[in-house]
């Protein structure tokens, strides 16, 4: 809900795709800066406590933005600063969350658990935009941010009640040495570097189509917030379907090859969406692309988790988190700059071509992932 209202507010206040991309960049770049530290902390401290702190900071930022918008004093730089602060909180919460999930289920159930987790996340992407669109058009942006702030209370209560079977090891080595141990573990796994590289490229070229939906809504379809809400809901629905398919298949064979085929399809669907002038066709392509995107995320994440042990999980997932989340600010910022010059359809189409090329390369040349 907040992401939807915030993106629309930034673009409405500035009319600049550059600032829209910068807002997304500042929200994601702390992942690259601080996630490695967050991963070490996640292996040394109760992961629930890290998550509670992260949720509190994000709740505070949501309520502060509510007050700024409600009083009419909000400026774009306020939003940019709060996006960066939320990103810092997520850089610690992300590794802790990803490391916590496997300690709650058996290893054979891990692919299903990750896929089901993707469902709840993307179900929020359906319900959130619908509620956010209603709140934005009927009540104003302040209500979107305020309701988002309230939602953190339920999350914090749930985290307090969750019991994990992992006991953190308070090692005597320095934080730098702990990071080196994590990197050494990753280098020792034949396919881990390829999976982490794929996660980076996937978010760098796959996520901008969602970030710049306001540009397509205004410049291609000449519509307003209701159409933006529709596209976000369609994207969320596709993501839920993709996650359900992965959860139903469970621990399927040749998961690496299936992942690469889905990346290829994602590139095709993104390219088709970028060139569509029909809102109905755009919804179809966005739905299919979102289903492919989330299925790839779920399968790559489960492969990384299955290769990793509990003692290294926080550090490994922090590196994965840097790649997974780090591709977003680079892709979003570069996309915003290029869209200012050549337009959104051409930039998003180029991203689709790059995704297809990436899938073909890992299927034919670099075969470590396809052999998993």
Cα–Cα dist 137/139, whole Å: 6
Q: Which CATH number goes with the domain that contains 274?
A: 1.20.1250.20
Q: Which of 115-119, 141-145, 166-170 holds the top average pLDDT? A: 141-145
Render the burial of 139-150: b for 16+ CB within 10 Å, e for the rest.
Answer: eebbbbbbbbbe
Would you give the DSSP letter of residue 221?
Answer: S
Beta-carbon neighbour count of residue 253 at 10 Å?
9
Does the residue 115 lie in any domain?
Answer: yes
3-state secondary structure of 166: coil
Q: Which value, in Å, is the radius of gyration of the alpha carbons in the chain?
A: 20
3-state secondary structure of 366: coil
The CA-to-CA distance between both ends of the chain, in Å, stands at 37
Does the residue 315 lie in any domain?
Answer: yes
* Whether pLDDT at 125 is above 60: no
The structure's pTM equals 0.70
Residue-number span of the structural domain to which 75 is assigned = 2-163+174-364
Closest CA to 212 of 342, 79, 332: 332
Cα→Cα distances 44→18, 314, 325, Å:
39, 9, 22
Cα–Cα dist 314/46, whole Å: 11
Does the residue 10 lie in any domain?
Answer: yes
pLDDT for residue 129? 60
pLDDT for residue 273? 95
- Give the orientation angle of helix 279-307 with respect to helix 310-342, to 10 degrees: 150
Q: What is the pLDDT of residues 211-243, one digit of tens each?
A: 888 889 988 888 887 888 788 878 878 887 887
Does the residue 246 lie in any domain?
Answer: yes
Q: What is the average pLDDT across 343-360? A: 93
Q: What is the pLDDT of residues 12-65, one digit of tens each?
A: 888 888 888 888 888 878 877 888 888 888 778 888 888 899 999 999 999 999
Q: How many domains does the chain have?
A: 1
Closest CA to 293 of 210, 372, 362, 357: 210
Does the residue 169 lie in any domain?
Answer: no
Beta-carbon neighbour count of residue 124 at 10 Å?
15
- Which tokens hold the place of 194? 């390829």
Does the residue 214 lie in any domain?
Answer: yes
């Amino acid at each position: 809900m907040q992401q939807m209202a915030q993106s629309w507010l930034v673009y409405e206040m500035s009319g600049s795709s550059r600032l829209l991309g910068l807002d997304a960049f500042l929200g994601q770049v702390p992942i690259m800066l601080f996630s490695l530290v967050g991963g070490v902390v996640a292996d040394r401290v109760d992961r629930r406590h890290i998550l509670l702190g992260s949720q509190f900071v994000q709740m505070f930022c949501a309520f502060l933005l509510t007050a700024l918008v409600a009083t009419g004093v909000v400026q774009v730089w306020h939003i940019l600063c709060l996006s960066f602060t939320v990103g810092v909180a997520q850089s610690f919460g992300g590794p802790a969350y990803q490391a916590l999930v496997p300690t709650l289920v058996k290893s054979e159930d891990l692919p299903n658990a990750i896929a089901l987790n993707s469902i709840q996340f993307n179900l929020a992407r359906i319900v959130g935009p619908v509620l956010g669109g209603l709140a934005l058009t009927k009540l104003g942006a302040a209500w979107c941010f305020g309701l988002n702030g309230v939602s953190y209370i339920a999350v914090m209560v749930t985290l307090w009640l969750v019991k994990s079977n992992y006991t953190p090891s308070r090692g005597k080595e320095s934080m730098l040495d702990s990071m080196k141990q994590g990197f050494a573990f990753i280098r020792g796994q034949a396919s881990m570097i390829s999976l982490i590289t794929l996660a980076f490229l996937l978010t760098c070229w796959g996520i901008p189509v969602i970030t710049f939906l306001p540009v397509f809504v205004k410049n291609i379809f000449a519509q307003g917030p209701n159409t933006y809400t529709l596209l976000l809901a369609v994207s969320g629905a596709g993501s839920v379907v993709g996650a359900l398919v992965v959860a139903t298949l469970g621990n399927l064979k040749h998961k690496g090859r299936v992942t690469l085929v889905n990346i290829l399809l994602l590139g095709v669907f993104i390219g088709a969406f970028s060139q569509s002038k029909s809102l109905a066709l755009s919804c179809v392509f966005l739905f299919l692309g979102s289903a492919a995107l989330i299925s790839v995320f779920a399968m790559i994440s489960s492969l990384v988790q299955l290769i990793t042990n509990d003692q290294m999980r926080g550090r490994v997932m922090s590196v994965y988190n840097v790649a997974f989340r780090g591709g977003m600010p680079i892709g979003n910022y570069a996309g915003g700059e290029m869209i200012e010059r050549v337009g959104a359809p051409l930039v998003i189409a180029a991203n689709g071509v790059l995704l297809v090329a990436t899938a073909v390369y890992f299927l034919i040349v670099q075969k470590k992932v396809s052999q998993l």
